[in-house]
Amino acid sequence: MRGTVALLATVLALVGVAGCGGDGAEPGVPQGATLVLDFVPNAVHSGIYVASANGYYRDRGVDLDVRAPGESTDAPKLLGAGKVEFAILDIHDLGIARERGIDLVGVAPIVQRPLAAVIARADGPVRRPREMEGHRVGVTGLPSDEAVVDSEVEADGGDPTAVDEVTIGFNAVASLAAGKVDAATGFWNAEGVALRERGVPIRVFKVDDFGAPPYPELVLTTSRKTLESDPQLVEAVVEATRQGYEVAEEHPGTALEDLVSSNPELDKAEQAEQLRALLPVLHPRPFDRAVLQEWADWDLRHGLLEKPLDVEQAFSQSG
């Protein structure tokens, strides 16, 4: 949800980044490519930094430049225009981009489950999703937040229209800590961890426990053009990324060191807690086609997509 703002902004911040395909590459020289993250580097990206730090991309002939998004970065447009070869996208943004005519393809899941959740104060009145009725629930203002709240309340037998939704932007932690809202949308691996570190008692209602399918929240994505013109590059990046996440799963301490070494501005203790929370969903494996179809249907039902999505076109069989 937070990453959606960066992903759906209207100005291209990386227009100076050139697509680096395989044309003209000297034999034996790693092929250059760029990957734009969905948000500032954090524990969810640990496998990528493991792969980069340990040479997994270079071992497969790729010199991968990993970049955090700028404030105005529109990753789907950068991919569609050939300015970058890869991006980590929120799965909803992938669907929206395709609906807008940008032919993007998900090639591997980064996490296996949704990260979206409703987080309620444990000392407050919201003890289960349907008890959001009649209470103040903070949302960022993005449609995906409304879908999460509606899905959870409805799945728990409540009336979504009875929820008092309050737009708080991306201030769920501060708003919940101060008691300004009884619950708020957020990521259980980020806001949930931050609130616990502050000593705020919380209840976490994950969206896939209340109405949503267990869809992969974040997806490694490329353009149709790159996938068809340079399948070896795509396969190399997918394989190296998977290897990185396998190491992160088996050796989280090593993954944490690689992440923080590449991004020294990060709070190591906070990232350690986020990584600990994420480990169960970082296990790298291919897409589940049935789950992807359930996700597309869920997005359509909740108004995130305007028409049915062709899942076979939106996600690569090799992923």
- Rounded-to-integer distance, Cα 201 and Cα 217, Å: 25
Question: How many beta carbons lie within 10 A of that of residue 157, not counting itself?
Answer: 9
> Would you state the pLDDT for residue 29?
84
Angle among Cα 65, 76, 59 to the nearest 5 degrees reads 25
CATH topology for the 116-209 domain: D-Maltodextrin-Binding Protein; domain 2 (3.40.190)
> Would you state the pLDDT for residue 26?
59
- Rounded-to-integer distance, Cα 1 and Cα 142, Å: 7
- Say what the pTM is: 0.88
Task: Of 123, 87, 124, give the one whose Cα is nearest residue 105.
Answer: 87
Q: Which residues contact 268 (CB under 8 A, 6 or more apart)?
A: 256, 260
> Would you state the pLDDT for residue 71?
74
> Would you state the pLDDT for residue 194?
95
Q: Which CATH architecture has domain 2-111+216-314?
A: 3-Layer(aba) Sandwich (3.40)
> Would you state the pLDDT for residue 70?
86
Long-range contact set of residues 210-214: C-beta below 8 Å, sequence gap at least 24: 210/129, 210/151, 210/152, 210/155, 210/156, 211/151, 211/152, 211/154, 211/155, 211/298, 212/114, 212/116, 212/148, 212/151, 212/295, 212/298, 213/291, 213/294, 213/295, 213/298, 214/112, 214/113, 214/114, 214/291
| Predicted confidence pLDDT, tens digits, the chain (319 residues) | 444 444 433 333 443 443 444 444 556 788 999 999 999 999 999 999 999 999 999 999 999 999 999 876 799 999 999 999 999 999 999 999 999 999 999 999 999 999 999 999 999 999 999 999 999 999 999 899 999 999 999 999 999 999 999 999 999 999 999 999 999 999 999 999 999 999 999 999 999 999 999 999 999 999 999 999 999 999 999 999 999 999 999 999 999 999 999 999 999 999 999 999 999 999 889 999 999 999 999 999 999 999 999 999 999 965 4
Question: How many beta carbons lie within 10 A of that of residue 74, not counting itself?
Answer: 26
> Would you state the pLDDT for residue 317?
67
CB burial of residue 82 (10 Å; 0-12, 13-18, 19+): middle
Question: Which residues of the chain form CATH 3.40.190.10?
Answer: 2-111+216-314, 116-209
